Amino acid sequence: MADIKTRDAVKGTIKTLDKAAIAGRRMKSAYAKTKDKAEQGYCAEENSPTEYAADKVSHASGRIKDEGIHQFNKQGQKNAQITKENIGKAKDKITDFKAKRAKKAAEQKTMRNKAEQNTMRTIRQDGLQEIQGTASRPAVSVAPAKTETPQTVANSLIKTRQQGKRTIKTTARNAEKTVKTTAKGTVKATEKGVKTAKATSKTAIKTTEQTARTAQKTAKASAKAAQKAAQTAKATAKTTAEATKATVKATIAAVRAIIAGTKALISALIAGGWIAVVIILIVVLLGCAVSLFGGGSDSTSYTPVSAEVEAYTPLIQKYAKQYRIPEYVELIKAVMMQESGGKGSDPMQAAEGSFNKKYPHEPNGIKDPEYSIECGVQELKAALTSAEVENPIDMERIKLALQGYNFGNGYISWAKTNYGGYSYANAVEFSAMQAQRLGWEKYGDTQYPAHVLRYYPYGRAFTSGGNQAIVEVALTQLGNEGGQPYWSWYGFEGRVEWCACFASWCADQCGYLESGIVPKFSLCSDGVNWFKGKGQWQDKNYEPQAGDLIFFDWGSDGSIDHVGIVEKCENGTVYTVEGNSGDACKQQSYPVGSGSIYGYGCPNY
């Protein structure tokens, strides 16, 4: 009975062991399937995000490359090459990352296989130990626990299997998490690389565009500069051509005027005999030489009349012949040139004269140019007659007549009575007298003869230079004391040291302040600085000319103390007219190079 029970127990044990073995095989099979699924899951999770990221990077890189090449082909090969290199570097980084990722995956797989092998080894060893321990025990020992021991072994194996499954699941989850984290980081890094590449590309494109725009602007600026230079050259050539034409026209006009004047002279003087005609012709030819070649300064050069004045020549000839002064046609044209330049309805400005019987006696009152010429010719004839002008080259009397045409014939009789004829000084005196009587600031043009004679083709050879005018004005002021007319004219309310005010006043009477020939100054140092700045300065050893301004340094200490006007320089002596010399206008003289002389301002008269 005991044997039967023993055998039954052994059989039960064997069945239990068989069941345990079957359960172990099933567990192993389930483990293998779980392993395969885990591996498949790992591979799916490993390959899917990475390949997606790689494909995305490859696609984005391709688009960036294509766009970069397209833009750089337009903007410049140099920047395109830089962008290509940047994209190539990005691809190289992606390739390196793939290689590192594959290596890491292989290492993780190897570690997982080792862990699984260790787990299986442990399971087998534990199972065998349990089986061996049960089989080696005595039967009597086994009998009391004939149902508990196999169940315990089975439960232990089941627990071990469950632990293995949990280990595999944990390993799979960790692997999956690692893959996801790695893939996510890879995608982010790749996207960042793509963004960096895009930014680099955009920056390169912008730089190229800016470079292109800068080059375009530079090219435009260069083109404009070249165009402007060409226009300037063209304008210069045009100006030169016009100047040349004007010079030729002036020469031709001068020759024509001389020829016309000569014919008129011959016609007018034929009654005087051939000797008179020869003398007149010599003088006229001398005037021709001066007008054609100049007299060495602007003050003696001839200026042709305008085309507008020339257009009136037939009418001028008509009325000059009618009023029996045909030899003065050129002088009449010079007067018209000074009065109006041949423009307007009253070109001779004869409306205020005594011969105007049709129009108001006011400036530009005549509205008929021919009537203006008729009246003007009569006015000039009356002045020539009153001044007792003998011929077209009787320059002293012509100047008297011309000043009378401007002031009125009352000046002619006054000048003849008081001074025996014309002088610039008495013209200034008469102008000041009339202005005071009428309450005007200014009366007439004190330089009218000089202004007219610059247009007279053969009269300028007999006129003095402009530098003499300021001397004549200064000489009219000799004896004046206190300087009130000069410093009050300047604008001072009370007396100041007035030598510079006097020199400025004399220059103003000649029109030199208005024309910029002489500065207006009350401090001697200001006058010196002006002349030095203009390059019109000479030191004390210079031999001055009439009209130069002489500056003095009484103490030889470098300070400028006084100024006067040079009257003349003869035989090593400088003669001057000075204001505020002992508080009066006086004539003085000094040796050339005197220690008291600081230097000279030399106006360009």
CATH number attached to the domain at 253-463: 1.10.530.10
What gap in Å lies between CA 347 and CA 373, rounded to an integer? 7
The arithmetic mean of pLDDT across residues 15-42, rounded, is 53
**Residue 191: predicted pLDDT:** 57
**Each residue's pLDDT tens digit, 124-183:** 665 555 545 544 454 444 444 444 455 554 555 556 556 655 655 665 566 556 545 654
Judged against a pLDDT cut of 50, whether residue 39 lies above it is answered with: no
Domain with CATH 1.10.530.10 in the chain: 253-463
Name which of 102-111, 294-303, 334-343, 562-571 the model is least confident about.
294-303
What H or E segment, with its residue span, contains residue 588?
Answer: strand 586-591
Structure tokens at 531: 């002349």
The arithmetic mean of pLDDT across residues 405-422, rounded, is 93
Burial code (b: 16+ CB inside 10 Å, e: under 16) for 439-455 equals: eeeebbbbbbbbbbbbb
Listed in sequence order, the DSSP H helices in 340-464 are: 369-386, 395-407, 409-419, 424-438, 448-453
For the chain, percent of residues with pLDDT exceeding 70: 54
**Each residue's pLDDT tens digit, 3-22:** 444 455 445 544 544 555 56
What gap in Å lies between CA 30 and CA 22, rounded to an integer? 12
**Residue 93: predicted pLDDT:** 74
- Fold of domain 475-601: endopeptidase fold (from Nostoc punctiforme) (3.90.1720)
32 vs 457, residue with greater confidence: 457
**Residue 240: predicted pLDDT:** 46
30 vs 481, residue with greater confidence: 481
Whether the CB-CB separation of 339 and 366 falls below 8 Å is answered with no
Contacts 24+ apart (CB under 8 A), 461-465: 461/283, 461/286, 461/287, 461/289, 461/290, 461/295, 461/300, 462/287, 462/393, 462/395, 463/300, 463/395, 463/399, 465/297, 465/299, 465/300, 465/547, 465/605
Mean pLDDT of the chain, nearest integer: 74
**Residue 10: predicted pLDDT:** 44
Residue 97: pLDDT band (50, 70, 90) is: confident
The arithmetic mean of pLDDT across residues 460-471, rounded, is 65
Judged against a pLDDT cut of 60, whether residue 527 lies above it is answered with: yes
pTM: 0.42
Domain with CATH 3.90.1720.10 in the chain: 475-601
**Residue 142: predicted pLDDT:** 41
**Each residue's pLDDT tens digit, 281-318:** 554 555 555 444 444 333 445 789 999 999 999 999 99
Would you give the distance in Å from CA 602 to the centre of its chain? 37
What gap in Å lies between CA 563 and CA 581, rounded to an integer? 10
Judged against a pLDDT cut of 60, whether residue 256 lies above it is answered with: no
Count of Cβ atoms closer than 10 Å to residue 373 Cβ: 23
405 vs 274, residue with greater confidence: 405
149 vs 330, residue with greater confidence: 330
**Residue 199: predicted pLDDT:** 63
The arithmetic mean of pLDDT across residues 340-358, rounded, is 93
Place of tokens 């001074």: 419
Judged against a pLDDT cut of 90, whether residue 55 lies above it is answered with: no
**Residue 355: predicted pLDDT:** 94
The arithmetic mean of pLDDT across residues 316-331, rounded, is 94
**Residue 405: predicted pLDDT:** 95
137 vs 323, residue with greater confidence: 323
Whether the CB-CB separation of 147 and 12 falls below 8 Å is answered with yes
446 vs 283, residue with greater confidence: 446
Whether the CB-CB separation of 561 and 500 falls below 8 Å is answered with no
**Each residue's pLDDT tens digit, 58-89:** 555 555 556 555 554 555 566 657 756 776 77
Judged against a pLDDT cut of 50, whether residue 223 lies above it is answered with: yes
